[in-house]
């Protein structure tokens, strides 16, 4: 993560839309199996919000920058 998030390059090569899709699949499967999915639902909401704000083609590590902005905290890059 150092080379993608701490550096603030946000270029791991895996897009945010695919990450949201993977989380959706996992939460849907958990529901079908009768598992409680409260953490999964919260996670899915965060990634859905990120996709709406940043676009599905944004790198999945860019969610960190969005969360920094949302919480009014910014970390220093290395």
Q: What is the CATH number of the domain that holds 38?
A: 1.10.1040.10
CA distance 31 to 68: 31
Angle between helices 63-71 and 38-54 (to 10 degrees): 90
Number of domains in the chain: 1
Mean pLDDT over 45-68 rounds to: 94
Q: Give residue-wise pLDDT tens across range 19-50.
A: 999 999 999 999 999 998 888 899 999 999 99
Q: Which domain holds residue 51?
A: 2-71
pLDDT at 58 over 90: yes
**Residue 78 counted as domain residue:** no
**Residue 61 counted as domain residue:** yes
Token pair 């895996």: residue: 14
**Residue 38 counted as domain residue:** yes
pLDDT band of residue 78 (cuts 50, 70, 90) is low
- Angstrom distances, CA of residue 76 to CA of 28, 53, 61, 67, 73: 37, 22, 16, 14, 10
**Residue 32 counted as domain residue:** yes
pLDDT at 76 over 80: no
**Residue 56 counted as domain residue:** yes
Overall pTM > 0.85? no
């Amino acid at each position: 993560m150092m080379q993608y998030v701490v550096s603030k390059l946000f270029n791991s090569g895996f897009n945010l839309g695919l990450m949201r899709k993977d989380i959706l699949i996992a939460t849907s499967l958990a529901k079908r199996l009768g598992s409680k999915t409260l953490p999964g639902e919260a996670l899915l909401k965060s990634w859905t919000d990120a996709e709406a704000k940043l676009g599905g083609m944004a790198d999945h590590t860019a969610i960190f920058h969005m969360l920094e902005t949302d919480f009014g905290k910014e970390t220093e890059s290395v």
